[in-house]
Amino acid sequence: MCGISGIISYNLSQDEIHLRLEQMGALQAHRGPDDKREAVYTFRSGFIGFGFRRLSILDLETGMQPIVSQQDQSAIICNGQVYNYLELKATAPEMGYSTKGDIEVALNMYRKHGLDFLNMLNGMYAGAIYDHINKKIILFRDRFGIKPLYYTEWENNFFFSSEIKSLLKGNMRPTQINRDRIETFFKYRYVPGTDTMFDGIKKLPPGSYLEYNLDSKKYEIKRYWDYKLDRIIPDMKLEEASEEFIRLFRDAVRIRMRSDVEVGTLLSGGIDSSAVSSEATVTKPDIRLFSISFNEDKYNELPLIEEFIKKNGNRFRLTRQHTGLCGSEMLKELPEIIKSIEEPISLGTILPTDQVCRMAGERVKVVLTGEGADEIFGGYRKFLLETAASVYHGLSIPEQKVIEEIYPELKSYMKIRSNNPVERYIQSESLFTGDELKELTGKDRLNDQFPIDATPYLSGNEHPLNAAIAMETRARLPDYVILRLDKLSMRHSLEARTPFLDYRLAEFAATLPVDFKVNPANNREKYICGNSFAMYSILDKETAFRKKQPFTIPMADWLSEPSRLPECIKEVMFGDMVKKQGIINPDILKRHISLLSKEDVGPNTLVSEADRIYAVIIFTLWYDLFFS
């Protein structure tokens, strides 16, 4: 929806704050190309500055921010959408409204209910409230961290922003790499938790708020929501569960279709985006569908998409389909994509995601996507593997043999499987081993521990599957999966909405018996989703029960053809860039390149030499962009 910036200062002048807000906003123009505004407020010891860049989607005429209450002079800026604003507004008609949009409703909920207002919001948001009466600033972020919010302190001032580049510009601090997180990145492919790869730049955690006291100059961060997965209802009936799932899913899509501009969907070959697109046609029969294809058959989902649309023609007969081709030439876009994401994340799908967002952004301002279903309902193979491991010793010998055939990696996993759910999750995520990291970085002692602040609420009573889901939704979902969706959609001035991350759906999923999510014996993931979509004719049965194929790219194929690589990639793999930076060992990179092969590598391959090389490429290009 937009980009926000803020400054709390005790030594800068009002004019200087205004200038810095303008500069911070200019670096976020892609997040809000339609309008901009800066406002500076005075308090006893200094000034507060709020900056806003707007992507106009809802309440086109009166929805500009910051919004200031005429009753008590409290003010708000917020990036994102509060989808249930109409329902909330109906509960407090006496508060008085000068706009027709959602963010003033959020401000009035705070004015009426205090910090409890955060439990009332259903949406994706990261914002700030200036509480004039109580002399404090409240920063807040949605439950799953769909919208980003960064902050830092420098020279007796406090700064926050939707993006890191804006923050670096506003606070004028020297840009330095966070060397404590280099091994973290290479082990997990991203940096989970509150740290970033920029020294001194922090992320406000998902489901949290930061309360800054203007008198004491101190702040504290508290969680207002934890995803608790120890609440299974064991005697739940599948038919009743499917009915409730569909009710919540339909409403999640319905309220995310609220917009004063055109809405489309991102459609892949998976059941999640297919179901979202199908349900969206109920509200908008002529909705635009945006998809990406590949030349390599085993990665190309376009035939599945076309087959799905044909089989469900009654729902899709008026839709408009737009497709693009993602080939190895997209690798030349990596530097600009990395600059937009700002944090290094070694995720191949940033390439097709950027391409489909570019295509959609040229035609609409809003899209619905299928992100979140795999994390909430257990859609990844690692969840099946974890569940299989948890029941293995209770099976008969014939049943164990069946499970071993389905999961050839099960025995080796069980040999190292920790009793600690946090350690188990880490074991499944490692890109490089400890010894490999020492060789790559040249360090004898590693700082590669999983950050404590990226671990979720765990009571100890969770089923192993739900413990893994808790880890996934607290770390990888916000800091890897959704980070790339937000930054790349907003790079093209496009708002991406995620119905499966409606907190009501997530809290319902927490009560489901494990076998409603995954069944390792039948190799079925997200069972409740497929079963319900078929039962209620949102999807045809073949699509609903289609085996999941990871949405990824043919990286091994592309990197195995050096002559077709763009110069920026050649410079990393075969030039002097890695050596000049002096952070990782170029000889170790050369060894991985010598082992590179596209044989026996496909969409289901978890870790390959191409993945390791790609991580080095991402990191090296990122370092070159921000520090060289």
Q: Residue 314, CB half-sphere, CA atoms under 13 Å: how many?
A: 4
Cis peptide before 66 (omega within 30 of 0): yes
Domain boundary pick from 495, 519, 544: 544
Residue 535 sits in a domain of what CATH number? 3.40.50.620
Question: Could you tell me the CA-to-CA distances from 516 to 168, 507, 536 in Å, in that order?
Answer: 46, 14, 17
* In a domain? residue 550: no
Q: Do 205 and 70 belong to one domain?
A: yes
Q: Where are the beta strands (DSSP E) in 182-306?
A: 202-203, 208-213, 218-223, 263-266, 288-293
Residue-wise pLDDT for 294-312, tens only, equals 998 888 999 999 999 999 9
Q: Are strands 157-161 and 2-9 parallel, antiparallel or unpaired?
A: antiparallel
pLDDT at 539: 97
- Residue 71: Cβ-neighbour burial (10 angstroms; 0-12, 13-18, 19+): exposed
Q: Do 567 and 537 belong to one domain?
A: no
Calpha distance 17→11 (Å, rounded): 10
Calpha distance 519→318 (Å, rounded): 37
Q: Do 44 and 135 belong to one domain?
A: yes
Contacts of 609 (CB under 8 A, 6+ apart): 556, 592, 593, 595, 596, 597
Radius of gyration of the chain (CA): 24
Question: Is residue 430 scored above 90 in pLDDT?
Answer: no
Q: Do 128 and 47 belong to one domain?
A: yes
2, 78, 357, 568: the active-site residue: 2
| Confidence label for 120 from pLDDT (cuts 50, 70 and 90) | very high
Q: Which residues pair with 378 in a beta bridge?
A: none
Q: Find tokens 């040999």 and name the residue.
A: 415
Q: Do 372 and 510 belong to one domain?
A: yes
User: To the nearest whole percent, how much of the chain has pLDDT over 70?
Assistant: 99
* In a domain? residue 231: no
Domain boundary pick from 513, 544, 575: 544
CB 527 within 8 A of CB 535: no
Higher pLDDT, 371 or 174: 371
Q: At what angle do helices 482-491 and 334-341 cross, to 10 degrees?
A: 110
Q: Do 18 and 150 belong to one domain?
A: yes
CB 137 within 8 A of CB 93: no
* In a domain? residue 233: no
Q: Do 246 and 328 belong to one domain?
A: yes
* In a domain? residue 426: yes
Domain boundary pick from 439, 466, 493: 466
**pLDDT mean across residues, the chain:** 95
Q: Do 179 and 245 belong to one domain?
A: no
Question: Is residue 133 scored above 80 in pLDDT?
Answer: yes
Residue-wise pLDDT for 537-573, tens only, equals 999 999 999 887 767 788 988 999 999 999 999 999 9
The closest alpha carbon to 549, from 582, 525, 519, belongs to 525
Question: Could you tell me the CA-to-CA distances from 209 to 125, 145, 596 in Å, in that order?
Answer: 12, 11, 45
User: To the nearest whole percent, how much of the chain has pLDDT over 90?
Assistant: 88
Residue 114 sits in a domain of what CATH number? 3.60.20.10
Q: Which residues pair with 153 in a beta bridge?
A: 158
Q: Do 403 and 442 belong to one domain?
A: yes
* In a domain? residue 412: yes
* In a domain? residue 144: yes
pLDDT at 50: 98
Q: Do 330 and 390 belong to one domain?
A: no
* In a domain? residue 169: yes
Indicate if 357 belongs to the active site. no
pLDDT at 602: 60
Residue-wise pLDDT for 234-268, tens only, equals 999 999 999 999 999 999 999 999 999 999 999 99
Higher pLDDT, 96 or 569: 569
Q: 3-class DSSP state for residue 9?
A: strand
- Residues of the domain holding 138: 2-223
Calpha distance 188→205 (Å, rounded): 18
Token pair recorded at residue 523: 């190799």
Count how many domains the chain has.
4
Question: Could you tell me the CA-to-CA distances from 269 to 251, 305, 376, 528, 546 in Å, in that order?
Answer: 23, 5, 19, 18, 9
pLDDT at 426: 81
Residue-wise pLDDT for 329-346, tens only, equals 999 999 999 999 999 999
- What global pTM score does this model have? 0.96
Q: Do 317 and 413 belong to one domain?
A: no
Q: Do 505 and 406 belong to one domain?
A: no
* In a domain? residue 448: yes
